[in-house]
Structure 1
Amino acid sequence: MAPAERTRSTGRDRLRDSVLAGDLSFLLARANARALAAANTALAPHGLKARSYSVLALAADEVRPTQRELAEFLHLDPSQVVALIDGLEQRHLVERHADPADRRANVLVATEAGRALFARAQDAVRAVGLDSLASMTPRDHERLAHLLRLLAFPD
């Protein structure tokens, strides 16, 4: 688009046509920010945010992650994970159990109340996800998920 044409369009459209809007890192960051905002809005009635939901989801999945595994997988500082677990534990949604393979470590397990809350919260997050991806086909969803997994888990 020629510079003169850019000044005539609205601010949002003008910026959408900028060089930055073609930068993959920017696009990923913007998509992430929009997805987090939508997820946090959907999770608010459940007393959760995206990070606490992520911890609860992994605890409810019966994979029994250690706190260290949670920190590495969620790409968070261990102190952030401890704070998230503490908050969920205070609400009786998760419990720390000694890891039978390493008594120095704790594994995280969802309580019955935690699994029930996760199921309700998951429905809310899925609904928001479907709304935000409404302009895409199911095939596009699959391709996007595949590409994001390649980026998120390069090894």
Structure 2
Amino acid sequence: MVVRLGRRLIAMEEPILADHGISMWAYVALSGLEDGPTRTQAALASAIGADKTRLIPVLDDLQRRGLITREADPADRRVRLLGMTPAGRKLHAAVRADIRAAEEALLASAAEKDRAAFLAVLEALDQGR
């Protein structure tokens, strides 16, 4: 059932991402930068569960589109700090809002107590990453 739900969520999110002109991995990368700059591309890849070599073209595209920055770390110029630009934050917030609205619509058929229990279990499982 978890696999079927995962597929359903992906199918629900794909048109939202397409409407915003962003791929799933680009959205995941922006989500990984939401709390502030990340010290290296490798650290971001590890944090979001992506292969570093496959993430680089995604980051190149995000940078080209003005959604992220890659700046030299003043403490170590060999290291690149990755961060979201205001345009990246705006896009990320819009995509997240649309995805959350779709999730709310999906959960609307469940009773409130069942929704609350389901979300509590998901949060507990997520903490065990």
TM-score (norm 1): 0.69
Structure 2: state its 5+ residue gaps. none
In structure 2, how many angstroms separate the alpha carbons of the residues matched to 1:143 and 1:50? 27
- Is the CA contact (8 Å cut-off) linking 2:32 and 2:47 kept in structure 1? no
Q: Is the 8 A contact 1:40 1:48 kept in 2?
A: no
1:100 positional shift = 5.0
Give the fraction of aligned pairs with identical amino acids, expressed as a percent.
32
Distance of 1:77 and 1:117 partners within structure 2: 24
The correspondence of residues 63-78 of structure 1 with structure 2, limited to 5 A, is: 63-65=36-38, 66-78=40-52
Deviations 1:93-135 (A, max 9, x none): 1111234565443232111211221222222111111112222
CA distance in 1, matches of 2:75, 2:115: 38
**AA in 2 matched with 1:64:** P
Aligned to 2:8, the other structure's residue is in SS state: helix
TM-aligned CA distance change 1:112 to 1:139, over 3 Å = same
Change (3 A) 1:135 1:91: same
Residue pair 2:32, 2:48 contacting (<8 A) in 1 also: no
Cα distance in 2 for residues equivalent to 1:68 and 1:137: 42
Q: CA RMSD in A?
A: 2.3
Counterparts of 1:101 and 1:143, CA distance in 2: 46
Which amino acid in structure 2 is aligned with residue 63 of structure 1?
A: G
AA paired with 1:84?
V
Higher relative contact order (CA 8 A, sep 6+): 2
Where does 1:45-84 land on structure 2 (aligned, <5 Å)?
A: 45-59=19-33, 61-65=34-38, 66-84=40-58
Q: Who wins on radius of gyration, i.e. which is larger? A: 1
Aligned pair in 2 of structure 1 residues 67, 146: CA closer, same or farther (>3 Å)? Answer: farther
